[in-house]
Structure 1
């Protein structure tokens, strides 16, 4: 089986969020399952910058390809590399106009950029004669590829037996644009209907992926159910219910070779479940680096997040003054909305010995927080899967989460009677219940030392590797192939 895996960001070439981790890891595990897989992504400016840091090479393999169907004179080049730690070939669509921004999700026109990349991906496949059985696309930036396959390419012999799989990593980001973009894309007018891309008078790229893909999945079983409700469906719940028989939930995994506290070179001191006491040395080093009072015994809480409404930051801000009455420290890392950035900066100014606010994107500091913190906070309003809680558990840092989406699928409430469970959580989205869950964790940390060690061990022994999930994707691909008569 030959799979073209298409994503806007792929670690280590370019990373903004969890999609990059998935796209940089899942193909390697698919390869282990015997799948012939190759990755396609834009050649962002970050790709060149990261080459030296991560030790990969880029080679131009094709120049000046015209894009089919799209109303533009812009052409693209193709570069090739290999996904580090694998034999997975990665192809880059390069164009100076559309992919010249310093940031991944930026450019002269995000709608045109997505259209150009989607159309160029299909041209790349034909030009390099990479005839895929499956085209696996991810999020709205690539969601028009299934639309092209089912319309303009439906009678093309090259793609006649190609099935499409569309993974929704976050339904909150949909790619909604003016209908004029349909003309730019060269797509037929008949797709602009309520049963196609039309969405309240606009066109919705993500809706196109839902409607035209052979199979759809989200990144956790619970989120697959949640998005079919009005509360979580982001106005697409009706469309998703119509496709319910083709909608699946597969939990993301993490790369256990890369994220391993016993070998991770990004943390201060290596440790494992049998040398768990060495974890505390990471706390002390983190306190020193961030300028917090060095106190080995104090509870250190960590939060690593995009600072956006989805992540429950309003709940944290609500309880922060009260939290600082406890004997604890809080380390925050992330960037996002000015509202949250400014509020969290003020807490550091107000409580400099309690709060360290780091408004930046820093993957090395993130690893140090996973290793050095005692408790990891994820009070998300919704969470399609979430990787932070998996990283934290891998490093023996106990998560406190809201039980929604993938957080509900991965974190199990600790039961002192059975000694089972990996963390603490709450269901109702309000600050009082969040504070109650944090307080419960602090109680066990300070007053139930034996239980706390048990929770840490349980968390570190939990298995969220990609092996299981990759097997589920292989089965999903088989379902997609059956939809096109294979």
Structure 2
């Protein structure tokens, strides 16, 4: 099959959130399975520093009264072709943000549609990701030989309103939906989310972001496929970023990474201290308000240490800085993006905090377990599907989980983790169970292939992935293009 992934991010060329990990990893696996998979993304101003890009474009066109170009390169360390959408709006060294964000990503989506229609290589399936590509399923609705999949990575971000879209681009007569996300969900041939639990949750008022009715309405074409991780890149047995590599059988070697991490970030070097790590965007979704409310007391009444890595809202950055100032030598805050330090945090910390208010899938908890770092998570979204609650009596589970989004529940869960850390033999077994989990893309890729096959009329090898058989919206059927 010929599959074109269209997204705002693709690791390692551009990565802000989990979408970048997905688009940077899944196409490589699908291509190894024998499919012609390619990626289309914006040509950001910093990409030429990460990969060699030819000066001559392979395609040129006019979109929304703008001259645009497409350049071709390869995803680093792979044979996956990458098409870079070139326009001056993407030259600044940023992925998101700016007053022109809605306009420039609508331009990108429009350019992607024109490219798919007019370039020599024509995809059978366009796999769209989040609102940045949400208009593509609408435009492709009357193109019978191109089907669309729309993946929701985060329903909270829904794109520009329809009244704005009508001012800047072409909105077909049949278009429905009050914003880009709503239109994409209705017109895509299949809709997916990045975990089965999140696919169910977005059909409820608590998680539906005011689209729960629409999500229930399209549940017949809605499915959840949990993300994977790049197990070749994130491998503690071969990761050159670490002070000492290790495996589940050589966990004693992991202690050297903990001591090195403590020294690097300015914490007291003590292998016996309970070291907590957190790598996240500092936004309300990630549970920072819970952490702020309980961390001071937890640090005061335990021997714990804490390291935080990430950037986000100024309020949360300030609050975490203030907490760190009260615990010199025990708490360190790094307000930046640093992949090398992130890997060392996974490999050196004892536990990883992820108390999210909602979490479509989450990648960090899987990376933490891969490196022997026990996660403390709230049972929501993809965290339910990837972390099993530890039961000491039965010696089962891979982490510590809590249900209610309340400070006391997080505090209690942390205390349980701290107590569990005191029992070294049982803690080691808990780490080994986490490291033994299969979070590779192989299983998820098979599910995506079955989804694609069903769309192009090839019988799937596995049972249907849809959550529930519900009628799809009454949208005019696809028609052949008028020549």
TM over 0.5: yes
Q: TM-score, normalised by structure 2?
A: 0.92
- Among residues 411, 420, 439, which one is paired with 2:387 in the alignment? 411
2:470 is matched with none
Deviation string, structure 1 residues 243-277 (Cα, Å, up to 9, x no partner): 00100000000010000001112222211111111
Cross-structure match for 1:5: 5
Please name the residue that 1:187 is paired with.
Answer: 171
- Which stretches in structure 1 are left out of the alignment for 5+ residues? 199-203
Aligned twin of 1:266: 241
Unmatched tracts of structure 2, length 5 or more = 458-476
Tell me the equivalent position of 1:112: 103
Give the secondary structure class of the aligned counterpart of 1:179: helix
1:440 aligns with 2:416: yes
Q: 1:130 and 2:130 equivalent?
A: no
Secondary structure of 1:146's match? Answer: helix
Distance 1:290 1:58 in 2: 37
Between the aligned partners of 1:190 and 1:133, the Cα distance in structure 2 is 23
Q: Deviations over 1:341-396 (max 9, x none)?
A: 00000011111122101111111111110111000000000000000000000000
Q: What secondary structure is seen at the aligned counterpart in 1 of 2:16?
A: coil
**Equivalents in 2 of 1:64, 1:210: separation in Å?**
29
* CA distance in 1 between partners of 2:368 and 2:4 (Å): 31
Alpha carbons 1:164, 1:213 under 8 Å: kept: yes
What residue is the counterpart of 1:329 in the other structure?
A: 305
Who is 1:201 aligned against? none
Distance of 1:462 and 1:116 partners within structure 2: 41
The TM-score normalised by the length of structure 1 is 0.92
Alignment match, 1:462: 437
Q: Provide the rounded CA distance (Å) in 1 between the counterparts of 2:221 and 2:418.
A: 43
Q: 2: distance between equivalents of 1:380 and 1:465?
A: 23
2:17 matched to 1:17? yes
Q: Which residue of the partner structure matches residue 91 of structure 2?
A: 100
- Residue 206 of structure 2 is aligned to residue 231 of structure 1: yes
| 2: CA distance, partners of 1:30 / 1:190 | 33
In 1, Cα distance between equivalents of 2:79 and 2:162: 41
Question: Is 2:139–2:172's contact at 8 Å kept on the other side of the alignment?
Answer: no
Distance in 1 of aligned mates of 2:115 and 2:318: 44
Does residue 280 of structure 1 match 2:260? no
1: distance between equivalents of 2:287 and 2:77?
A: 35
* Alpha-carbon distance between aligned partners in 2 of 1:178 and 1:252, rounded to the nearest angstrom: 30
Please give the alpha-carbon distance, in whole angstroms, between the structure 2 residues aligned to 1:334 and 1:366. Answer: 9
* Alpha-carbon distance in 1 for matches of 2:166, 2:413: 48
Deviation at 1:176, TM superposition (A): 3.0
For residue 472 of structure 2, what is the aligned residue in structure 1?
none
> What SS does structure 1 have at the residue aligned with 2:57?
strand
Give the distance between the partners of 1:317 and 1:269, measured in 2 at CA.
Answer: 33
Counterpart among 183, 197, 201 of residue 177 in structure 2: 197
Counterpart in the other structure of 2:463 = none
Asked if 2 retains the 8 angstrom alpha-carbon contact of 1:67 and 1:119, the reply is no
Match of 2:283 in 1: 308
1:85 aligns with 2:77: yes
Distance 1:215 1:190 in 2: 18
- The alignment of Structure 1 onto Structure 2 pairs a total of residues equal to 459
Contact persistence 2:276–2:307 (CA under 8 A)? yes
RMSD: 1.6
| Alpha-carbon distance in structure 2 between the residues aligned to 1:405 and 1:162 | 31
Is 1:111–1:177's contact at 8 Å kept on the other side of the alignment? no
